[in-house]
C-alpha cells in the first residue's frame, strides 16, 4: 500500500519518474546485492581464494529474481540489515557451494557497492534528462536572441535585455552541471570492499587483490581506502542533485513571475485542464513550475541529511548515520527525476508572448533606458552632471505621467548635447542591449562543445 508521494498511484508521476522508481525499487536493490555477491565469488574463484568449482556453482545458481522478499523482510526485521537474509537464501540456492558466499565481506561492503550500482544507473538517467533539457534551452535561446524584454533587478524594471539572454543564463547553469556530473562520477562510482573493520584481515595478504578484481568485474572505480565511515562521495552525489534542482527552481521561479497576470510574458505549455482551478475557470496556474520548486526544496533537505551522515560517521564503522543515506539518497534521486521531467515538459513548449514583453517595456515611458541617455550625455558634459540632469528628468516623467523623451526635451543641457534623432534612438530599448547577442553566442558555443563530451 503506497504511503509517500513517490510511490502513490495518484502523485508518483508528478514527484518522480517511472525510470527512477525502477532503479530504487526493492527488486532492483536486491538484484544489486546478488550481483555483488556473485561477482565477489567469481573473482575469488579465479584468484584461488575459494574453490573455483564452488565459485562456478555460485555464478550459475544464484538468482536474485527467485529470492522470497517476504522471507527477506522477516530476517531484515530481526537483524536490521538485509544482507544476512540475502546470503541465507542464496546459500540454499547454491547448496554446498553456498558456504563460500560472502567470503571476507561485511554487510556494508555489499550494501554500499549495491548502492553505487544503483547510482550509476540513476546518474545515467539524470545525465540524459539534463542533455534533453539543455537542447530545449539552446533552442529557446537561439529563437529569442532578439526578443527584447525588460530586465529586472530587485523585482523592478532595470534595463532592456532579451529573452534569449535570460534563457542562455539558464543554459549556462545546466552546462556547468553536466560538467560537474562528468567530474564527480570517478569519485562517486567507486565500490566498497573493506571487510569487518576496513583492513580485509580475513583475506590475509590477498585483500587488495580481491578488492581490485571485484571492482574490475563490476566496472566500478577502485577505492584507495575503505569508505565505510568516509561518506563524502555520497554527500557529493546528493548535493550535486541539490545544485541541479536549485537551478531548475530558479528557472521555475522566473517562469512563475513572468506568468503573473500583470506581466503575462510567458506561459507554461497549454493543455486543456492543466493547471486549472476547481472553482475559477479563468485560472492557468504554473503547475509544473510549482512542482519543480517543491522538488528542489525536498532535495535540499535530503542534501542536509547526507551531510549529517558524513559529519556523524564515527570511527571505522558508524553507529547510525549511515542509515540516513537509506532515506535520503533514493528520495533525492526520485525528486530530481520528477523535477527534470517537469522541466523538460515546461521548456519543450514554453509559450513566449513577444507582444506582452514589448507592452511592458513601454510601461515606464522610456525610463528603462535612462542609463543609455545618461551615458550618451556624459560623453559631452561628464558623468556626474549627466546623471543629475537625467535623474531629474526621470522624476519629472514619473510625477507628470509623461515620457522620458518629453522631459529630456525640456532640459537645455541635454538638448544641447544631443539632437532629436539621437534622443529618439536612445529611448528605444532595442538599441540598448550591449553584448547580449555575443553572450548568447558564447553560451551556445559552450553548449555545443558539451554535446561532444
Count the Cβ atoms, other than its own, within 10 Å of residue 68: 11
Catalytic site residue from 3, 154, 205, 278: 154
The residues that bridge with 221 in the sheet, in sequence order, are 190
Query: Which residue has 546528493 as its cell numbers?
Result: 238
Three-state SS at 156: strand
Could you say which DSSP state residue 160 is in? E
Using alpha carbons, select from 116, 98, 126 the residue that is nearest to residue 36.
116
Using alpha carbons, select from 126, 181, 124 the residue that is nearest to residue 340.
126
| Helices 436-451/107-143 angle, 10° precision | 140
Q: If you compute the radius of gyration of the chain from its CA atoms, what whole number of angstroms results?
A: 30
- CA–CA dist 149, 361 (Å, integer): 6
Residues 340/133, Cβ–Cβ less than 8 Å: yes
- CA–CA dist 231, 313 (Å, integer): 8
Reading the block at residue 304, the C-alpha cell is: 542536509
Residue 154 bears catalytic tag: yes
- CA–CA dist 63, 35 (Å, integer): 9
Buried b (16+ CB within 10 A) or exposed e, 15-48: bbbeebbebbeeebbbbbbbbbbbbbbbbbbeee
Sign, CA dihedral 336-337-341-347, equals positive
Query: Which residue has 569519485 as its cell numbers?
Result: 187
Catalytic site residue from 74, 277, 315, 435: 277
Residue 289 bears catalytic tag: no
Reading the block at residue 301, the C-alpha cell is: 533537505
Residues 59/38, Cβ–Cβ less than 8 Å: yes
Could you say which DSSP state residue 359 is in? H
The residues that bridge with 152 in the sheet, in sequence order, are 157
Using alpha carbons, select from 35, 50, 46, 41 the residue that is nearest to residue 110.
35
SS (H, E, C) 85-118: HHHHHHHHHHHHHHHHCCCCCCHHHHHHHHHHHH
CA angle 426, 429, 431 (to 5 degrees): 60
Could you say which DSSP state residue 266 is in? E
**Catalytic residue list:** 154, 277
Amino acid at each position: 500500500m503506497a504511503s509517500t508521494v513517490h510511490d502513490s498511484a495518484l502523485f508518483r508521476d508528478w514527484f518522480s519518474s517511472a525510470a527512477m522508481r525502477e532503479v530504487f525499487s526493492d527488486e532492483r536493490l536486491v538484484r544489486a546485492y546478488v550481483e555483488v555477491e556473485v561477482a565477489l565469488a567469481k573473482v575469488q574463484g579465479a584468484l584461488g581464494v575459494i574453490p573455483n568449482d564452488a565459485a562456478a556453482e555460485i555464478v550459475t545458481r544464484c538468482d536474485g529474481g527467485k529470492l522470497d522478499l517476504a522471507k527477506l523482510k522477516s530476517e531484515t526485521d530481526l537483524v536490521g540489515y538485509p544482507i544476512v537474509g540475502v546470503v541465507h537464501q542464496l546459500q540454499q540456492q547454491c547448496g554446498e557451494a553456498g558456504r563460500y558466499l560472502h567470503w571476507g565481506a561485511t554487510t556494508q561492503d555489499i550494501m554500499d557497492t549495491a548502492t553505487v550500482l544503483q547510482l550509476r544507473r540513476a546518474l545515467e538517467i539524470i545525465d540524459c534528462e539534463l542533455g534533453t533539457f539543455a537542447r530545449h534551452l539552446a533552442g529557446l535561446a537561439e529563437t529569442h536572441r532578439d526578443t527584447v524584454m525588460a530586465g529586472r533587478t530587485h523585482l523592478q524594471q532595470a534595463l532592456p535585455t532579451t529573452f534569449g539572454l535570460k534563457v542562455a543564463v539558464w543554459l549556462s547553469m545546466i552546462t556547468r552541471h553536466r560538467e560537474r556530473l562528468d567530474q564527480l562520477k570517478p569519485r562517486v562510482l567507486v565500490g566498497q570492499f573493506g571487510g569487518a573493520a576496513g583492513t580485509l584481515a580475513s583475506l590475509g595478504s590477498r585483500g587488495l587483490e580481491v578488492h581490485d578484481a571485484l571492482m574490475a568485474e563490476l566496472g566500478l572505480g577502485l577505492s584507495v581506502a575503505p569508505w565505510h565511515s568516509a561518506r563524502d562521495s555520497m554527500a557529493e552525489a546528493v548535493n550535486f542533485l541539490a545544485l541541479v534542482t536549485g537551478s531548475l527552481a530558479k528557472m521555475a521561479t522566473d517562469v512563475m513571475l513572468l506568468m503573473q497576470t500583470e506581466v503575462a510574458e510567458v506561459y507554461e505549455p497549454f493543455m486543456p485542464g492543466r493547471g486549472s482551478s476547481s472553482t475559477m475557470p479563468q485560472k492557468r496556474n504554473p503547475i509544473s513550475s510549482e512542482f519543480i520548486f517543491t522538488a528542489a526544496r525536498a532535495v535540499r533537505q535530503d542534501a542536509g541529511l547526507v551531510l549529517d551522515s558524513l559529519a556523524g560517521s564515527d570511527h571505522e564503522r558508524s553507529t547510525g548515520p549511515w542509515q540516513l543515506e537509506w532515506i535520503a539518497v533514493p528520495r533525492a534521486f526520485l525528486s530530481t527525476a520528477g523535477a527534470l521531467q517537469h522541466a523538460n515538459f515546461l521548456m519543450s513548449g514554453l509559450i513566449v508572448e513577444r507582444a506582452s514583453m514589448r507592452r511592458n517595456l513601454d510601461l515606464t515611458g522610456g525610463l528603462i533606458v535612462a542609463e543609455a541617455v545618461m551615458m550618451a550625455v556624459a560623453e559631452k558634459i561628464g558623468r556626474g552632471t549627466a546623471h543629475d540632469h537625467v535623474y531629474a528628468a526621470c522624476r519629472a516623467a514619473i510625477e507628470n505621467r509623461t515620457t522620458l523623451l518629453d522631459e529630456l526635451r525640456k532640459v537645455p543641457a541635454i538638448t544641447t548635447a544631443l539632437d532629436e534623432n539621437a534622443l529618439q534612438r536612445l529611448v528605444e530599448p532595442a538599441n540598448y542591449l550591449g553584448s547580449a547577442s555575443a553572450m548568447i553566442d558564447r553560451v551556445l558555443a559552450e553548449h555545443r562543445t558539451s554535446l561532444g563530451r
